[in-house]
Structure formats: C-alpha cells, structure tokens
Amino acid sequence: MGKIDIRVKELLRFDPEISDKEFMKSIKAIIRHVCKPCWEIKYCPYGPFVEEFPLMLLTSAEAKDEDLDPEDFPEEIPEEVRIMACDVFGHVCPVFFVSEGVTETAEPRRRGRFIPAYVKIRVARRDENTCQICSKHLKDCEIEFDHIIPVSKAGSSEESNIQVTCFKCNRDKSDKIEI
C-alpha cells in the first residue's frame, strides 16, 4: 500500500501530519476493540445520528465511476478504514468515535447467552413451570429458557428478559421478538 492520503486522516479526525505507520497502528487498535452493532444485530441502532458523522470517502477510481472529479478523492483507502463505513448510510460508524473497549467488543456481547443458575430458578418459580407461549405445564426436565429479546438482537440474560418455554415453542420462536 502506498502513502495514506491526508484526506483519509482528516476524515477520521486525525492530525494530517501523523505518520502513516502511527495512523494505521491507531486504526488497527480501534478496530480490534470495536464491533459495529449492525454486524451482530443486523440494523443500525444509531439511525439519523449516523448522518452527523463524516461520509466515507470514495477512491478516485470509484469517483470516476460516479462521474465525479477523481482529483478530489484519494487513490486508495486502506481496508481497515473502509470497514468503518456504515453499511446503510455510508458514513463512518459512530461506534468508532465513541466506543470503549469494555462495552463495544463482540466478546462481552456473546457472553450474554449464558443464563446464571439463580436466574433460571427465579424465572422457573415466577413462571410456575409453565410455557409462556402455549401455557403448557412443564416438568423440571422439560423446561427451556428463552430470551424474550434474543441475544442476537442485543437482548440480555437478565431475569426480566428470560421466560420459560417448552421445547417446541422455543424452537418455533427462534430469534424472533414476539409481541
């Protein structure tokens, strides 16, 4: 890869004088600690807020395809920078500017599927061993625990988001949100 265009650095609010090596080191550190929400929940939770963030630049080759002046655009954009673009709006995703490693990594979100034993006991008692979808009374060995708002849609494993279901209802519901 050649020299990184100053416009790319400015777009991401870096000092244009920063060395390419330091710039890429910073970008890689951000990417390592950030997970775009749309990668996991399949929609943009930021909505119009994204529009306030800078538009991802086109390369000069893409500008040519769009009948724009290629001189106004960089020759190439590093892939590490390109993945920061919003898949819906085309802007740089806000999560790259406002994230913290402890809250925005994929790893802590994936831990959300685990339901602690004390939560299972409380939910089973609260729901009286009854499937909350079909109302079938269940034996202890038949109980399944369902995330009301699925983990794949940012649901937690807190007691208020867990319900007792039977095997069939849990499979039929899958990752849908029932209303």
Of 56, 141, 148, 130, the closest CA to residue 94 belongs to: 56
Give SS3 for 67.
coil
Q: Which of 29-43, 51-65, 100-114, 157-171 has the lowest average pLDDT?
A: 100-114
57 is a domain residue: yes
Q: 41 falls in which pLDDT band (50, 70, 90)?
A: low
Residues 99, 125 within the same domain: no
CATH number at residue 130: 1.10.30.50
Calculated CA dihedral for residues 137, 138, 140, 145, nearest 10 degrees: -110
Residue 110: per-residue pLDDT: 44
82 or 99: whose pLDDT is higher? 82
Which structural domain, as residue segments, surrounds residue 148?
A: 114-173
Query: d(Cα 74, Cα 108) in Å, to the nearest integer?
Result: 36
Contact, 70 vs 122, CB < 8 A? Answer: no
11 and 73 belong to one structural domain: yes
**Cβ-based neighbours of 4, under 8 Å, separated by 6 or more:** 20, 23, 24, 78
Q: What is the mean pLDDT of residues 150-158?
A: 80
Predicted confidence (pLDDT) per residue in 97-141, tens digit:
766 554 444 444 445 578 888 899 999 999 999 999 999 999 999
Give the number of C-alpha atoms closer than 13 A to the C-alpha of residue 119, restricted to the C-beta side: 17
Residue type, 120: K
- Is the same domain home to 83 and 163? no
Write out the two tokens for 112. 């959300």
Same domain assignment for residues 47 and 104: yes
